[in-house]
Amino acid sequence: MHPIHTEQGHVSGIHHDSDVSAFLGLPYAAPPVGRLRFAPPSPAEPWDGVREATAFGNAGIQILPGAGDLRAPQSEDCLYLNVWTPAADPGAKLPVMVWIHGGGFLYGAASEALYDGAALAARGAVVVSLNYRLGVFGFLSHPEAGTNFAVLDWAAALRWVQRNISAFGGDPGNVTVFGQSSGAAAVRALLSAPSARGLFHRGIIQSAGFEHPVSADYTADLVARLSDTLFERVGTSDLDALRGLPHDTLVKASLTRPAALATPGRLHTPADLVWFPAVDGDVVTDGFAARPENMPVMFGTTQDEARYFHRPGGPVGGPPVSAEQAYTPTALAVMARALVPDRADDALAQFHDRGLPTYEALTELTTAAVFHEPALATYERFTAQGRTAYAYRFARVSPGNRRSQMLAHHMAELPYVFGQVTAGAGPDADADADYDTTDTAIRDAVQHAWVEFARTGTPRALDGGAWPNCRARDPHHTVIEDTVEARPLNPGPLTRLIHSTRDK
């Protein structure tokens, strides 16, 4: 394989048996350390000779433990990206798919095995994944330095793609940004980032990034208050002094939450994010500053999102217990008042009338309040604006997730998107395998839809049929279950109840 020329210099990568080549650990900006800590990203330095792009770059400093094996060291020097391509030919003009990882903006990395882009690239796309500054390093607010540094990191990576991706066979005029959880919130932020305008052409928002009623108070003022608390804890707000502090000092001081999120008895939900992109009127604006009228967006949720956060075997990190022991009626009542303050009693009455066990009620409550109702509001917003959008619900429950009772939990679609589903169960096979032949069929359908959306702006079934777009009359969405099919958009009673409290 011949070296590829980038703006910074020549690189060589790894060639897979699937005819996909990988180029790992490419710097898209200078290390944000020293005087570049709490500053917009600066251009990466050029190099002489050929850079061996065969190992992942550093992961960002992990603010909380959460990810599994990062497969890379942690460092503030983390502004690296990875490229997988099936055709390192400048004339190929393949669609480009840029992945932003999740992890609550507090943990995670593009190097995690789950996000390997080789199988998706083999479907006919150039896949890019990137690391960015997490937590306080990405979102501190300082009167001299500004805020939303991570948003500027994402935009810098997209500028690198514009300048370099054609050498890897990608089309800089056809770039899709996609992400899941906080990575989806990053896509939503980029739609409102003036610095990203013209750098991408489609967006996929997986399980977050919607109009969120719970996080309505997550503003630039709140980030400024969190930052002021950090300044008090470290004993200085002087920018030079902050840039000189050890990173672990900043991490420790940054682990704080507003009092409103520390209600006794309340369980953790994704609404408890601490450091996040907020509308500051500069880096992130109110509206869609980077979304032209003709930019299509695809968005969706999983059927049982909250089972990732409220595990059937008890909270993550705690001893294994039964759901009845871990999740009590008192906790359910506290969460109802936290998540649906105006209709908490009505929500609890619904659960009682339906005879739902406490755990089932709790997971339905968090799923509806944090994911399904905001997605419904997004559906209505896009249709009211006349913008092209496609909605989906991932409801496939693999044998492994059925066995663990995790069902179609938050992140359940990711192995299908990245092609990490292999059938191992069947009439004459291992009954304890995680996936079966239905899962491999759904994997193929999901990857095809994602790549078709990146290629054309319209997600399609394997037979070529287009997914239904969001529309006010006769609203439909695509349900990915044991089959993939269009169904009427029919919110459940709890989602409708929560939706009735939203300011229209």
Give catalytic residue positions.
181, 305, 410
CATH class of residue range 4-206: alpha beta
Whether pTM exceeds 0.85: yes
Q: Tell me if residue 24 falls in helix, strand or coil.
A: strand
Q: Could you check whether 4-206 and 297-499 share the same CATH topology?
A: yes
d(CA 136, CA 52): 31
Write down the pLDDT at residue 340: 93
Q: What is the pLDDT of residues 61-103, one digit of tens each?
A: 999 888 789 999 999 999 999 999 998 788 899 999 999 999 9
In angstroms, how far is CA 34 from the centroid of its own chain? 29
Measured CA to CA, the distance from residue 148 to residue 142 in angstroms comes to 10
Q: Please state whether beta strands 389-394 and 476-480 pair in parallel, antiparallel, or not at all (unpaired).
A: parallel
Given this model, what pLDDT does residue 217 score? 57
Look at the block and give the residue holding tokens 């399904």: 372
Contact 316/307 with Cβ under 8 angstroms? no
Query: How high is the pLDDT of residue 210?
Result: 81
Helix or strand run (H / E) with residue 249: helix 247-254
**How do strand 50-52 and strand 80-85 relate by DSSP bridges?**
unpaired
Name the β-bridge partners of 206.
Answer: 180, 300
Euclidean distance between CA atoms 16 and 1, whole angstroms: 11
In which residue ranges of the chain is pLDDT below 70? 1, 212-218, 256-266, 268-273, 317-318, 425-431, 504
CA distances from residue 421 to 108, 150, 398, 484 in whole angstroms, order as listed: 21, 31, 10, 17
Closest CA to 46 of 73, 88, 11: 11
CATH of domain 297-499: 3.40.50.1820
Tokens 């008042």, residue located: 337
**435 vs 480: CA distance, rounded Å:** 15
Name the residue ranges covered by the structural domains of the chain. 4-206, 297-499
Name 496's Cβ contacts closer than 8 Å, sequence gap at least 6. Answer: none
Q: What is the DSSP string of 121-184?
A: HTTT-EEEEE----HHHHH--BTTTBS-HHHHHHHHHHHHHHHHGGGGTEEEEEEEEEEETHHH
Q: What b/e string do you get for 79-105 counting C-beta neighbours within 10 Å, with b at 16 or more?
A: bbbbbbbbbbeeebbbbbbbbbbbbbb
Task: Report the C-alpha gap between 36 and 290 in whole angstroms.
Answer: 26
Which of 501, 106, 141, 151 lies closest to 342, judged by CA? 501
Query: Which ranges of 340-462 does DSSP label H, i.e. alpha helix?
Result: 344-354, 358-367, 373-385, 399-404, 414-417, 437-456
